[in-house]
Amino acid sequence: MDNKKVRTDATITWCPGCFNFQVLAGMQQFLEEEIRKGKKKEDFAIVAGIGCHAKIFDYLDMPGINTLHGRVPPTCLGMKLANPSLNVFGFSGDGDAYAEGLEHTISIARYNVNFKYLIHNNQVFALTLGEPSPVTELGFKDTTNPFGVKVPSMNPINLLLAAGATFVARIFAEVSQVKEILKEATKHKGFAFIEIIQPCPVFHQDAGYKERFYDLKQVRHDKTNLKAAMEKAEEFDYSSKASKIPLGIFYQVSRPTFEELKLNKSHN
């Protein structure tokens, strides 16, 4: 692998205006910076699921695996046990992480495997042409749900906090935010859950989120306080059209990683 070029020559097949371009650019810049600082490509791994997000695997000339729908977390677990010093970045969509692979999303948080899990949440199954996901808002209509979504959406931030994630963040799909959070998450020794809110220009357009965002840092949120993190997570329920939407790190604490615990063969 050529250590200079982070991107492949593959034709990008995302729609014009897709926010996945922002995530790709953020990731690319982050990797380029790391490589400039002396890291090698083989120090990183890209793992992607199935959906629009997963095409990022083909656009990054990096080692890793484009695995099955929903199976990013256990794949990353197996890789980290095999090589604990590898910097593993898992990419999933909301269908991947919250529908097909939810059991893994919850379990991986509990295990605290030291990899960074980025969820491209566009609140819709885009690649299969617009069906609702577990985080689509009440009332959303599409061909498979002509009478609208009738059950409330889940709140992944709260769910991951309850599951024991040691790093829980939410950002908007914008290059600098992606790059910043990657830096923060990489400093964190443990599992990092990063939800990237991104509109889908075709099936789930910008619902005016931008005007409702605010930065958790600006309200002096205590990210070591689980109760405070839960309260902040409750502010946006993924269906509301009016509430404020907090961005940034909700929660960050430290505890031993799965690989430290499993690879250490002495008793507790």
Partner 1 sequence: MRYNILCGGPAGQGPNFIANIISKGLVEKGFYVFSSREYESRIRGGHNYNIITFSDKPLYSNSIQVDILIALDDVSEVVHKDNLKKNVLIIKEEKSNVLAAGSAFKVLGIDFSILDSELKNQGNYNENISEAKKGYAAENRILNLPKVSKRKGLYIWAGNDGISFGASQSGLDFYYAYPMTPSTGVFFKLALEESSSKYVTVQLESEIAVVNAAIGSAIMGKKAMIGTSGGGFDLMTESLSLAGGAEVPLVMYLAQRPGPATGAATYTAQGDLNMARHSGHGEFIRVVSAPGDPIECAALTSQSFYLTQKYQIPGIILSDKHLADSIFSLTEKPSIVKSQVKIKWPARFTSYESDKDKIANSSGKNIILSVQKRKEKYLKLEKEIGAMKTYSIYGKKDSKNMVIGWGSTKGAILDSIKGLDCKFIQIIYLEPFSKKIKEELKKAKNLILVENNSNSPLSSLIAEKTGIFIEEKNKILKYDGRPFFYEALLSEIKKRLK
Q: Give the interface with partner 1 as residue ranges (CB under 8 A).
A: 1, 8, 10, 41-42, 47, 50, 55, 57-58, 61-68, 71, 73-83, 86, 103-104, 107, 262-263, 265
Handedness of CA 183, 184, 190, 196 (dihedral sign): negative
Beta carbon of residue 5, minimum distance to partner 1 (angstroms, whole number): 12
* H or E stretch at 35: helix 20-36
Which is nearer to partner 1, 80 or 170 (by Cβ)?
Answer: 80
> Distance (Å, rounded) from C-alpha 45 to C-alpha 63?
5
Output the CA–CA distances (angstroms, integers) from residue 79 to 62, 195, 229, in the order listed: 15, 22, 30
Q: Which is nearer to partner 1, 123 or 257 (CB)?
A: 257
Smallest distance, Å, CB 263 to partner 1?
A: 6
The smaller minimum CB distance to partner 1, of residues 8 and 128, is found at: 8
| Least CB distance to partner 1 at residue 71 (A) | 4
Nearest-approach distance from CB 97 to partner 1, in angstroms = 14
If the CB atoms of residues 42 and 215 are measured against partner 1, the closer one turns out to be 42
Burial of 150 (0-12, 13-18, 19+ CB in 10 A): exposed
What's the burial of 85, exposed, middle or buried (CB within 10 Å: 0-12/13-18/19+)? exposed
